[in-house]
Amino acid sequence: MNKIRGQKRIRFLRLLCRAALLTSAALIGLGCAGGKEQVSGGELVIYCPHPQDFIDPIVSEFEARTGISVLVCSGGTAELLEQVAAGGTPPCDIFWGGSLSITSPRKELFDPYVSVNEPQIREEFQNREGNMTRFTDVPSVIMINTNLIGDIPVEGYEDLLQPELKGQIAMCDPAASSSAWEHLINMLYAMGDGDPEQGWDYVERFCENLDGKLLERSSQVYEGVARGQYAAGLTFEEGGARYAASGSPVRLIYMKEGVLSTPDVVCIAKNSAHRKEARQFVDFVTGYDAQSVIAGQLNRRSVRTDVDEPEGLPDKSGLPAIQDDLELVTARREQWLEHFSKLYEKGLSSE
C-alpha cells in the first residue's frame, strides 16, 4: 500500500441514532480493485465518524488484501456510541474513530484485544486498558480562512474573542462531536493555566462570540471554513490539513496558549459476530503499510515509532503542548457538557 490505487465502491450507511434509522448511500472510494468474499453471517460492520475521504482508501485496501466485505456505518461519535450500547442495526463489529477521552468512558462496550502491532506503538499510545487500541494522534487546531480573516490576528483562543469575529466562528456541539469535545477540554486547560475549573470564564465569553451558531457535525466546521462560510473554526488537525494541502485559502493555527493532542481509537465491539475479521482489521489499520499511507497521504499523525510525521505539518516537538488528566476528564464529562450547554444558552439569551 505504498500508494492508493484504482477505484472501488465502498458500501456506506448513514446511522441516525435518534430515530434509529438507516439510510443507504452508495459512495465512491479509492483503493485497489479485487474480489470480495462475504464473512460468515454477512459483512464486517464498522461504525465510524471519520470523514468519508479518509475512510475510503483504507477500507478499500483492507477489502482487496483480505477479501473481507465491509459495511461502514457513519455518523457522529456520540450517536454511534449510543447505537453500539443499544445494539444498533446492523450490529457493530468495529468502532473506528472517536477520541480516547470520549470513548474511554464507554470502554465496557468493547472486547479485549491487543494488536500484533502493539510492540511498534509509541509508549504514550499503548493499549493499557486491553481493549482500546490507539489509531492516530490528533492535535486540536484553529482553522482560518485567509481570505476572510484579513488583518485580524489569530494566534490562539484569546484572539477568538475579538468583536470582529462574532458570528464568524465555526464550532460543533461538544456533546455530539469528539473533536469539539477535545476543544472544550483544550480550552479549559489552556485558558485555566492547567486548572480546567478556572477556564470557564473564557468559555462563557467564547460562547457569546459564537453568536448562536453551534454546528451539528464536525465536517461542517472544516468544510464551512474552507468554503468561506466562516472566518475561523475549531477542528482537528487532519480536517484542516487536507484543505491546506490542496491549495484552499486556509491555514492551521496551533493555539499559543497550549495544544492538546489526543489519540483516537479502533476497538472491537463486545459480542461481535465476526471477531476473527475484526481482529484482522485492527491489525491492518495499525500496521506499517496503513499507517504510512495515513501519514504520507492522508495528513494524519501515526502512533507507530517507525512512521515519520506527515510532510507539511509542524514537528510535534515544536508545538506548545499541554496535558490533561484523562481520569478527571472522564469523570467530569457530563458535568462539563451540561455547563457548556448552560453557557451557550446564556449567550443566546444575551443577544
Instruction: Work out the average pLDDT over 78-96.
Output: 96
The C-alpha atoms of residue 215 and residue 318 are separated, in whole angstroms, by 31
Percent of the chain's residues with pLDDT above 90: 86
What is the CATH number that goes with domain 139-260+315-349? 3.40.190.10
pLDDT surpasses 80 at 259: yes
* Lowest-pLDDT choice from 21-35, 100-114, 311-325: 21-35
**Overall pTM surpassing 0.95 (yes/no):** no
Which of 9, 85, 19 lies closest to 47 in space, CA to CA? Answer: 85
Q: What is the rounded average pLDDT of the residues 276-300?
A: 97
Note the Cα 178 to chain centre separation in Å. Answer: 6
Q: What is the pLDDT of residue 31?
A: 25
DSSP 3-state of 50: coil
* Contact yes or no for 181/99 (Cβ under 8 A): yes
Write out the three cell numbers for 291.
499507517
142-186 confidence digits (pLDDT tens): 999 999 999 999 999 999 999 999 999 999 999 999 999 999 999
Q: What is the mean pLDDT of residues 279-304?
A: 97
Give the per-residue pLDDT at 24. 27
**Amino acid in the structure at residue 325:** D
Q: What is the mean pLDDT of residues 60-65?
A: 97
pLDDT of 16 above 80: no
Check for a shared fold between 7-137+264-302 and 139-260+315-349: yes
Q: Where are the domains of the chain?
A: 7-137+264-302, 139-260+315-349
Q: Is 148 helix (H, G, I), strand (E, B) or coil?
A: helix
Concatenating the DSSP letter of every residue in 71-95 gives EEEE--HHHHHHHHHHT-SSPPSEE
User: What is the dotted CATH code of the domain comprising 7-137+264-302?
Assistant: 3.40.190.10
pLDDT the model gives residue 11: 57
